[in-house]
Structure 1
Amino acid sequence: MSRLNRSTYPAPTFPEKILQFGTGVLLRGLPDYLVQKANAAGKFNGSIVVVKSTDSRTDEFSSQDNLYTVAVRGVQQGQDVAETTLVSAVSRVLAAQTQWNEVLMIARNPNLQIIISNTTEVGLNYTEESIFQHPPQSFPAKLTAFLYERFRSVGGSKAKGLVVIPTELVTDNGLKLREAVEKLAKFNELGKLFTKWLKFHVRFCNSLVDRIVTRPTAEAQQALETELGYEDGLLTFTEPYHLWAIEGDDRVRQTLTFADASTPQIIIDEDINFYRERKLRVLNGTHTLTMPLGYLLGLETVADEMQHAAMSRFVELLMLNEIVPTVPHYGIPGMDKAAVAQFAHDVLDRFRNPHLDHLLLNISLQETAKMQARNVATIQRYYEQFNAVPPLTALGFAAYLLFMKSVRVEEGQYLGEISANGGIITYPIRDEQAGYFHETWQGVDPKNPATLQAFVGSVLANQSIWQTNLTALPGFADTVTAQLSALLTDGAASVVEKAVS
């Protein structure tokens, strides 16, 4: 079987209009995929130059002439979806470590219009450094150096400004990146004219990306390559659902010609908070509240949860009855209660996707911070609307507290244990608060209800974690304590069955 390349699979070439920082699967499976679709429809006619910052190896792209395949598999509105797209939108991939001068040369390209990034959540953080290194270390410094080169090459032209769209999963990612770039411009004394050009002619857009994109398993890779008739080391596996919400004005709409009425998956609006809140609360919040209980049941993936009768029912009831009613909406078509409800049903379809191995342990990374960011406001809003304890949320929170119970520490790694599937499963607790929970659990005697109640009360009252005192919510601490006691004495299977019956 031959390797995918342009000799065997010829593809058109287009002017380089997009500079992209990042080579990960999310970018390949969402923005790059959408640009490919637009090129195929004759709507954009532009290609993407990719910058790789992590190391200097780009052979995985160059060995197949920057082509790769996106395999879409899953269920959408009850229908099986199987689609395969050959993406040729990437023109070349440059390594920042060894080809920084070539990256800067792209700044002189008159066709360049857009910069996209997906580094990491901490990749947008400001670091005080010189932008004249080859290359600068942080992503904001690399971007500042590039924009400064652009400014110098175009003489501060308004017509040659750029639209910058970070896709990192950080609230107000565009504003955060702009702030870092402006600080670097000041630190590096780049001058008032550059600062003015940056302010008026470079548009930083907040954005939200929503699509589960993975690498296929070895078995899926082999099956797909057999089906396709070629080897693809960049084969990208994704679900049917996709959304890219971009905060922008008419200038942004005119620049992003790959987005129009025929691509409802790309939303350009001056306020994308509705889409951010909807995803954060419904999809992410449900993941965070259900992951611990699913794992305590001995399940491994989100799809496993949805194939477990009681756990699937728990997920649905929690999402539809306790989370969806609390999501803020604007009461207008597309941004109303119906849109939230439709999104929730789409999410349930996505959770059931048997083709994606979405591991619960991966979801558990920094579970405490996620619980605070995704679910505390939901709990508070539920009280405001119903003046009552959200019962399934309380159970999910209790399961989280039990999941955070470490039994030992090895080489600085906190380890938990559960009895499941006929044996003992040891798992890592990858959480900045793992040490805090390890110490706090030491004072708990499962046979002494008072110690359990004191433990729950102490955790819920910890304002440094939750940014509020959760014991102030009437009945919440008592309900969490009761559910935690039941999990310890009766086991997760019995407790979840009772909760959904």
Structure 2
Amino acid sequence: MTISDLMNAPGKPQLPTYDRSKLRPRLIHLGFGAFARAHWMSYHQDFLLQTPDSDWGVVVSDILFGADRFGQLEENDHLYSVLEHSDTISNVRIIGSIVKTAHPERGGMDAFFAPFLEPDIAIVSMTVTEKGYCLTGGALDLANPAIAHDLDNPTAPKSAIGALVEALARRKAAGLDGFTILSLDNLPANGKLCQQAVLSFADKRDAVLAAWIRKHVTFPCSMVDRIVPALTDESRALITEKLGGMQDPNGIVCEPFRQWVIEDAFVKGRPAWEEVGAQFVPDVEPFEEMKLRTLNGAHSFLAYLGYLAGYETIDACMEDANFRSVAHALMVKEQQPTLDVPGDVDLDAYAAALIERFSNSQLKHKTAQIASDGSQKLPQRMLASIAWHLEHNGDWTRLALGVAGWLRFMTGSDEQGNPTPINDPLAEPIAKAAALLPDWDAYIDAVFAMEAIFPPALVADVRFVGGVKQQYAALIELGSKRHMTAMVDC
């Protein structure tokens, strides 16, 4: 795929108008998945369009996945497409900021680490999902097989955390300075968690290296928001149509909306992303919690209960007036009270906008996709809010239903007896607990005993246990659709 090939494409794509030959490696992104392609690289594209003389080029890398994707990217002159798609907007953009790729399967470990030794690398951003940080209870999981491997084999890492520490070790040995590590994963305090993982690993590996990292590396927090569904045959065909028949295996479809809030703590400079819509703030936490609890919490709520009800996508859930009403009430009545946001943030408008975004019929965001990795997501999306309500004597009925929906989903079958697509790092122990069924009371107690998900103080509160079990019992008796109808007037 070249720019000249796309000049007359039917989708009229927005093309890079900056001089790509001026770009040099200054940014590395680790984890070249769908969200990275659709979110932060679209901001960076706009920055380059606005600053055509900039040299802030991007190296995309991955430690385990995507080797084939990088080969396809190089075949397309390091270009790929982003289709911003909704019921009213269909805008194709060609991203041209990538100058190089790096993957250990394409040249070995030294080739993978070579871009990290470029003197001008200032930022290494990452999207490796919650699992990629190898944390448990907020601390580095030393029992994690990848972490254990990397501590024994530091120059041939299998984890993102091990790779970052080895990259910094090589920079230190070469007499180079550090860089900023910018987490773009959907985690509260993502920068702090990344820092905890990196420094804990470095402390175990080499105390002198760890001290150097503490002095030369920063870990700003960030909040990212854009709905990016997994590609389907339908969305791939749409991209091909927009590109005039050209195939783009790295193309991605996403919603038009995007948001990026970043802590301004960069040790070696940064692009002026604020000029193209990013927001730099001294404290990201209020924005993180707003998004994680309101958007992501409602998304998970709809994913578990919608899937059980037979709804394949989020927009299908939104077509059910009861699901739509209860999801909105969850945001406004139960999540909003737990938030402490700046005074100029209109939470009611935010919730209303989320309902409209969820209703985008063009995205086909699958409930099964959102339901994955629930054991990693539940604590920040629902359990933290429940703990707040228990302390403040608030109403958390819908949050209890969300937790019950996850528990019901994780039993392994939906309400029609069909298998549920479980994709979770704790799938095995949860499946062992599900073997206690049909004694669902014992099943729930066994899952609640998993401290990696449920804080012991929360489980010790009889109000929590009783509230969730009450909602679970109602799900068993009524089914998801009928129970959601009953919840409308709560």
Query: What TM-score range do you get, normalising by the shorter chain?
Result: 0.7 to 0.9
- Aligned position for 2:333: 321
- Deviation readout 1:208-242 (Å, 9 max, x if unpaired): 32222235422232233223223212111111222
- Aligned position for 1:425: 418
Deviation (angstroms), 1:440: 4.1
- Aligned position for 1:391: 397
- Deviation readout 1:64-94 (Å, 9 max, x if unpaired): 111001011126xxxx332211101011212
- Aligned position for 1:263: 276
Among 101, 124, 137, the residue aligned to 1:93: 101
The one-letter code sitting in structure 1 at the alignment partner of 2:292 is L
2:51 counterpart SS class: coil
- Aligned position for 2:385: 378
C-alpha distance in 2 between matches for 1:479 and 1:121: 28
Q: How does 1:70-81 map to 2 (within 5 A)?
A: 70-74=82-86, 80-81=88-89
Rate the CA distance shift 1:322–1:49 in 2: closer, same or farther, 3 A. Answer: same
Q: How does 1:102-113 map to 2 (within 5 A)?
A: 102-113=111-122
Contact 1:22–1:51 (Cα < 8 Å) also in 2: yes
Contact 2:224–2:260 (Cα < 8 Å) also in 1: yes
Matched, 1:243 2:249: no
Contact 1:460–1:470 (Cα < 8 Å) also in 2: no
Matched, 1:344 2:351: yes
The one-letter code sitting in structure 2 at the alignment partner of 1:259 is W
- Aligned position for 1:33: 42
Contact 1:463–1:469 (Cα < 8 Å) also in 2: no
Among 389, 398, 403, the residue aligned to 2:409: 403
Deviation (angstroms), 1:416: 1.3
- Aligned position for 1:300: 312
C-alpha distance in 2 between matches for 1:137 and 1:494: 46
2:434 counterpart SS class: helix
Deviation (angstroms), 1:380: 3.2
Contact 2:240–2:247 (Cα < 8 Å) also in 1: yes
The one-letter code sitting in structure 2 at the alignment partner of 1:147 is L
C-alpha distance in 2 between matches for 1:286 and 1:369: 16
The one-letter code sitting in structure 2 at the alignment partner of 1:472 is D
Matched, 1:52 2:48: no
Deviation (angstroms), 1:6: 4.9
C-alpha distance in 2 between matches for 1:134 and 1:461: 39
Deviation (angstroms), 1:168: 3.1
Q: How does 1:62-461 map to 2 (within 5 A)?
A: 62-74=74-86, 80-97=88-105, 98-125=107-134, 127=147, 129=150, 135-153=156-174, 155=175, 160-183=177-200, 185=202, 189=206, 192=208, 197-229=212-244, 230-249=246-265, 251=266, 255-260=269-274, 262-264=275-277, 266-329=278-341, 331-334=342-345, 338=346, 340-385=347-392, 387=393, 389-404=395-410, 406=411, 415-419=412-416, 424-431=417-424, 432=426, 433-435=429-431, 437-443=433-439, 458=445
Deviation (angstroms), 1:482: 4.9
Q: TM-score, normalised by structure 2?
A: 0.81
The one-letter code sitting in structure 2 at the alignment partner of 1:27 is A
Deviation (angstroms), 1:103: 4.1
Rate the CA distance shift 1:221–1:473 in 2: closer, same or farther, 3 A. Answer: same
Of Structure 1 and Structure 2, the greater strand share is in: 1
C-alpha distance in 2 between matches for 1:394 and 1:172: 24
1:426 counterpart SS class: coil
Rate the CA distance shift 1:21–1:492 in 2: closer, same or farther, 3 A. Answer: closer
Sequence identity (%): 23
1:69 counterpart SS class: strand
Number of residue equivalences: 455
Rate the CA distance shift 1:106–1:326 in 2: closer, same or farther, 3 A. Answer: closer
The range that moved more, 311-320 or 214-223, is 214-223
The one-letter code sitting in structure 1 at the alignment partner of 2:398 is L
- Aligned position for 2:486: 498
1:237 counterpart SS class: strand
Contact 1:51–1:96 (Cα < 8 Å) also in 2: no
Rate the CA distance shift 1:344–1:436 in 2: closer, same or farther, 3 A. Answer: farther
2:218 counterpart SS class: strand
1:287 counterpart SS class: helix
C-alpha distance in 2 between matches for 1:179 and 1:50: 24
Greater gyration radius: 1
- Aligned position for 2:137: none
Rate the CA distance shift 1:369–1:31 in 2: closer, same or farther, 3 A. Answer: closer
Deviation (angstroms), 1:282: 0.8
C-alpha distance in 2 between matches for 1:400 and 1:226: 38
2:257 counterpart SS class: coil
The range that moved more, 90-99 or 269-278, is 90-99
C-alpha distance in 2 between matches for 1:237 and 1:303: 15
Contact 2:63–2:159 (Cα < 8 Å) also in 1: no
C-alpha distance in 1 between matches for 2:330 and 2:205: 51
Rate the CA distance shift 1:429–1:122 in 2: closer, same or farther, 3 A. Answer: closer
C-alpha distance in 1 between matches for 2:479 and 2:194: 46
Deviation (angstroms), 1:18: 0.7
The one-letter code sitting in structure 1 at the alignment partner of 2:47 is A
Unaligned ranges ≥5, structure 1:
407-414, 445-451
C-alpha distance in 1 between matches for 2:34 and 2:448: 39
The one-letter code sitting in structure 1 at the alignment partner of 2:485 is E
